[in-house]
Amino acid sequence: MQKTLTIPTITCNHCLMSIKRELGFVDGVDYVDGNVGAKTVLVTYTDDAALDQARAMLAEAGYAPTN
């Protein structure tokens, strides 16, 4: 499954690298890519629980998605 998350606090490639690193620790998240200009992150995941964990981890790291 895939979901594109909108994250308004992405301001640079460092932010994107931090997001990729953090989501790498979430079981069930298979792939993460992003677009700094669009402030979006594409997450490929195995189930809804993995997506919920990814959202929670992003919020904790200061990158709360709006969707």
pLDDT tens-digit map of 9-24:
999 999 999 999 999 9
**For all residues of the chain together, what is the average pLDDT?**
97
Give the Cα separation of 49 and 26 in Å (integer).
10
Tell which residue, 5, 2, 4, 7, has the closest CA to residue 61: 7
Question: What confidence score (pLDDT) does residue 2 get?
Answer: 98
pTM: 0.93
Question: What confidence score (pLDDT) does residue 13 get?
Answer: 97
Domains in the chain, please, with CATH? 2-60 (3.30.70.100)
The tally of CA atoms less than 13 A away on the side-chain side of residue 19 is 31
Cβ 61 vs Cβ 20: under 8 Å: no
